[in-house]
A and B are shown apart, each in its own frame.
Chain A
Amino acid sequence: MVDTRFALYPPYGTDIPNMNDKNGNLETAAHPENLRRVAIDPVSRVEGHGKVTLLLDENDRVHQVRLHIVEFRGFEKFVQGRPYWEAPVMVQRLCGICPVSHHIAASKAMDMIVGATLTPTAEKVRRLMHYGQILQSHALHFFHLSSPDLLFGFDSDVARRNIAGIAAAYPEVAKRGVLLRKFGQEVIRITAGKRIHGTGSIPGGVNKNVSTEERDYLLKDIEQMIAWSRDALVLVRQLFEQNLDLYNNFGRFKTHTLNLVREDGALDLYHGGLRARDMDGNTLFDHYDSRHYWDVIFEDVKPWSYMKFPFLRSLGPERGWYRVGPLSRVTQCDFIPTPLANQARKAFMAFAGGSVAGATMGFHWARMIEMLHAAELIQELLHDPDLQGNDLVSKGQRQERGVGVIEAPRGTLIHHYKVDEHDQIVRCNLIVSTTHNNQAMNEAIRQVARQYLDGRKLTEGLLNHIEVAIRAFDPCLSCATHALGKMPLQVELLDVEGGVLSTLARSADGAFS
């Protein structure tokens, strides 16, 4: 069971510092030269490495906490010069977990380049591919990666805090996680040609439809997937009921939000306009044409991180950071256009006086609502005869600039390309979901530092608290999300001169030294 001692920490609303207060934000210490530096390096990676650094004074009070993503990917550079039709296949190699996101976002941008208006078959096959991915990615995150934290406790026995431990203690939960993910991967295989890194989506459409045999193959399991998704919602609700104070307060912070919504305000993960709301729920802009995202979003650069810090232009770089992803989408849409998921959303929004909708751990609940929505939509799409259509590709007036925006499993994903008269890409800008959440994740771990680190001796369980906070966002920090409980970590306590006072290291096999 979850360690309930965390419930002793101040309940919701009593100890939430203003993140925009220079003295309270913990981003930059006033006098770092006099502070001890504690580094968690590597914490994890975005297909690479990330680290957390903390600066503490002699009383172990935290003065600075930073999540650094130190990896440089370079796709924006080496896609330059390549033909535009190659981009959807090339850039999806950014990721092995949700490559379909990049595949489709790039394809949407290239639809603009070739001046296409998608045929019904093309759009529905793409939507099917995308929701298959939402299903598999959310299942992967909840069952494989987060359930050990949630079911065993944040600082439970590290030896069993992994998917193998779940399989031993909760075999049915583990089995459902594996099979839900498998189903989503099968949807991707049928629409994209391969489970990972397929080629189904091309500029102006798709390269195949869904045959009746393929449709029937998926339909035979879809009812089970919907049932298991509903059961997952029951499980996550129970977890919140049992640990309400902990889940409500852990890494909690106030934030602005950004997400796509359909014209009628419904949740739509494939296409829509941008909606931004401030931390008090006031709408900053709504149904904004995402093809002109740069009018409302800009990227800030900070000297201590390779990852940019996007912000809402109207609020500026200091105050304009925001959060994307399932929690923002589910709470900020007006409704979900499938019945079971919409019902689940209402229950979520009403739970504990609506407070969970603002909790960092609420990500898990929102993610399961989206998984149910994906399963329902897949069923709906599979019954649509347009999937068997043969009108797959369209073209129109050639354009120079293309922008593709979708809601990926982890949040809003923006692809932006400029293509020259020789059909070669000359400029590319990608703002990926994890980048949008950069500052938000920093705020979450700063809050965890305030809540759990001040004056405490470093332990493995403490390290995992930082992981749990980062993991709630389901970031593309590969180690944090993929090697759960086995993330190689090294924490060093240094004196002012940089000398090592003590070290705690965890190797990839989970051993401590």
Chain B
Amino acid sequence: MITVENLTRTYGGFRAVDDVSFTARAGRVTGFLGPNGAGKSTTMRIMVGLTPPTSGTALIDGRPFAELPNPGLDVGVLLDASAQHAGRTGREILAVAARTMGLPKMRVEEMLRRVSLTDAEADRRVRNYSLGMRQRLGIAAALLGDPAVLILDEPANGLDPAGIRWMRDLLRDYADEGGTVLLSSHLLHEIEVVADDLVVIGNGRIVAQGTKEELLAAAGTLVRTRDVAGLTRALSAAGIASSITGDGAVRTDADAEQVGLLAMDARVPLTELRAADGAGLEEMFLELTAESQREGNTEGVAA
């Protein structure tokens, strides 16, 4: 289990991580979601003791990471698959890590097989690895000590679709066996498939968190019609806020029955009426992304 409490990290006047609290539970895959530069990597670096926090704590099963006697056996970490010595072979990198943890050499071969790196690939220098191969090597290094907790920063980056599927199954199995998995991504769809719990971060602050079901259920109703103007008029006349999604549908927090009745009274023919299923989450996420890409951040994200 990972417990993060009131974590803050500032750089000069800039709050990269701003009062972040969440828990990644055992037996669950927790998705840490946010646009680039939202503070995901900084939070993860603080968790594993690479970056000192300005205030707050991050604990692994109740203990600070730096106090674990041999952390590789408890926590598997992959922060950046490219952060390896380019002149070392994949096998050497695993051998050095295994030796540091005090593991037998055969563990290296087991892990190479587990991540499907061939002998020839393992003997190549990392300089000549594709990003996908580096990710596999990084996963192998993280799994080496058979830890109960995995902390992975954008592990699906650079993997092909089959690789992404493989990664998803691996993490699912890991959590099903009782492990704690925290993985970050800036892609909602990538994380939606595998995560049980979601923590959404933007501009250093947590903007939403809960089980995936909760977050998806809270997403409201999605309506389609050829008469969008008529529908929004009817909704606003009834005091119901609505917004138009990217593909021309109308999304509102009101439930489907209420929307259907209002549409009938206003004689607006509907072509689709259903629970939004994550459309709200996606919208919130897009808003976050758009905001972080604009110069001079504007207010308006619900905390």
Chains A and B come from one and the same complex: no
> Which B residues are within 8 Å of any A CB, using their own CB?
none
